[in-house]
């Protein structure tokens, strides 16, 4: 296994059932491994708190999760800029529950809906 480059202080998303608070405990029970599979990725709390493996595979039934992490990887500056300009308002939250049809805007909306609620 390869050590992660920097420790992560908080999850990218506040995701219901994400496991961030118990991730270190969970990871402490992992055996040494070269491959890692996470079928219910969510916010990736377990993956991002464990040591890197040679092969890591993740999946999630919610396409918004996949889109968010794809946009975060491919357009991080644009996503962060959009998030920083997002007003924390009830009307904004309501609009973020609807799809925009643009991957970048959908990722921003998903991020906001996760952090502005408990529902994720």
pLDDT tens-digit series, residues 49-106: 888 899 999 999 999 999 999 999 999 999 999 999 999 999 999 999 999 999 999 9
Mean pLDDT of 28-51: 90
Report pTM: 0.82
The CB density around residue 104, as the number of other CB atoms within 10 Å, is 16
What is the dihedral angle through the alpha carbons of 52, 57, 63, 95, rounded to the nearest 10 degrees?
A: 0
User: pLDDT category, 24, cuts 50, 70, 90?
Assistant: confident
């Amino acid at each position: 296994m390869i050590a992660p480059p920097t420790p992560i202080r908080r999850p990218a998303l506040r995701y219901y059932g994400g496991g961030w608070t118990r991730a270190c405990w969970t990871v402490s029970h992992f055996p040494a491994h070269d491959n890692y599979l996470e079928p219910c990725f969510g916010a990736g709390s377990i993956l991002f708190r464990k040591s890197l493996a040679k092969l890591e595979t993740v999946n999630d039934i919610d396409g918004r999760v996949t889109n968010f992490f794809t946009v975060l990887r491919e357009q991080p500056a644009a996503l962060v800029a959009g998030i920083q300009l997002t007003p924390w308002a009830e009307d904004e939250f309501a609009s973020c529950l609807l799809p925009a049809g643009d991957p970048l805007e959908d990722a921003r909306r998903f991020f906001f809906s996760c952090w502005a609620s408990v529902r994720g």
